[in-house]
Chains A and B, each alone.
Chain A
Amino acid sequence: MSTSATYPRRDFLAAGGILTGFLAAGGPLSLLAPSRAWALELGSLSSAEGARLLSVARTIAPHDSLEDAAYAIVVKAIDAAAADEQVRATLKAGLAQLGEDFATRAEPARVEALQAVEHSEFFSFVRTKTLGTLYASPIAYGHFGYEGEAFSKGGYLTRGFDELNWLPDVPLEDSGPKAGSGGR
Chain B
Amino acid sequence: MTQIAQDDTNAVVIIGSGAGGGTLAHELTRRGIKVVLLEAGARQSYATFTQNPGEAFVQLTWLDPRTTSGSWTVPQDYPGLPSWTAKTLGGTTVHWTGATPRIQPWEVRARSTYGEIAGTSLIDWPIEYSELERYYELAERRLLVTRRHGNPGLPASSHFKIMYHGARRIGYHRVHTGHLAVNTQPADERGMCIQQGFCVQGCKTGAKWSTLYTEIPRAEATGNLDLRLRCHALRIEHGADGRASAVIYRDAEGNEQRQKARLLCVACNSIETARLLLLSESSRFPHGLANSSDQVGRNYCRHTAGFIWGVFDKPVKFWRGTTLAGIVEDETKNDPKRGFVGGYHLELAALDLPSLPLAGFPSTLWGRDLGFLMDHYDRMAGMLINGEDMPRATNRITLSTSVKDSAGIPVAHIHVDEHDNDAAMRAHAQRQGRAIYEAVGALRTATSRQTPAAHNMCTARMSKDPRDGVVDAHGRAHDVPNLYVSDGSALTTPGSANPTLTIVALALRQAEHIAREMSSRNL
Contact = CB atoms under 8 A, between A and B. Distances in A.
A7 interface: no
Interface string A128-165: 10011011100011001111111100111101111110
B120 interface: no
B352 A156 contact: no
B444 to A, nearest CB: 16
Contacts of A176: 146-147, 152-156, 177, 184
A148 B194 contact: no
A60 interface: yes
Given A61-B374, A164-B316, A149 B155 contact: no
Contacts of A156: 194-197, 320-321
Given A149-B51, A167-B162, A175 B377 contact: no
Contacts of B176: 173-175
A145 B377 contact: yes
A151 B204 contact: yes
B160 interface: yes
Nearest to B49: A151
A184 interface: yes
Interface string B341-380: 0000000000011101110000100111011001101100
Contacts of A148: 51
Contacts of A151: 51, 196, 198, 204-205
B155 A178 contact: yes
A170 interface: yes
Contact of A167 (B161, B319, B363, B378): B161
Interface in B142-176: 146-147, 152-162, 164-165, 175-176
A63 B375 contact: yes
Given A131-B358, A146-B378, A150-B51, A177 B152 contact: yes
A161 to B, nearest CB: 4
Contacts of B293: none
A157 B156 CA distance: 11
A155 B196 contact: yes
Contacts of A8: none
Contacts of B153: 174-176
Contacts of A145: 317, 377-378
A61 B481 CA distance: 57
B315 interface: yes
Interface in B184-221: 184-185, 192-198, 204-205
B521 interface: no
A61 B165 contact: no
Interface string A105-128: 000000100100000000010011
A85 interface: no
B254 interface: no
A59 interface: yes
Given A167-B162, A168-B165, A157 B193 contact: yes
A142 to B, nearest CB: 11
Contacts of B317: 145, 147, 160, 163
A63 B371 contact: yes
Q: Report which residue of A151, A155, A161, A178 has the largest number of chain B beta carbons within 10 angstroms of its beta carbon.
A: A161
Nearest to B161: A167
A166 B314 contact: yes
Nearest to A160: B320
A34 interface: no
A135 B356 contact: yes
A178 B194 CA distance: 10
Contacts of A127: 363, 366
B9 interface: no
B406 to A, nearest CB: 19
A150 B157 CA distance: 16
A22 B170 CA distance: 50
B105 interface: no
A183 interface: yes
6 contacts: A60-B370, A62-B368, A132-B357, A136-B354, A163-B317, A176-B147
Given A151-B204, A168-B161, A169-B156, 6 more contacts: A60-B366, A61-B366, A136-B53, A154-B194, A156-B320, A161-B158
Interface of B: 51-54, 79, 146-147, 152-162, 164-165, 175-177, 184-185, 192-198, 204-205, 314-317, 319-321, 352-354, 356-358, 363, 366-368, 370-371, 374-375, 377-378, 440
Q: Which 8 A-B pairs have the closest CB atoms?
A: A155-B194, A164-B158, A176-B153, A149-B51, A170-B156, A146-B353, A175-B156, A136-B354
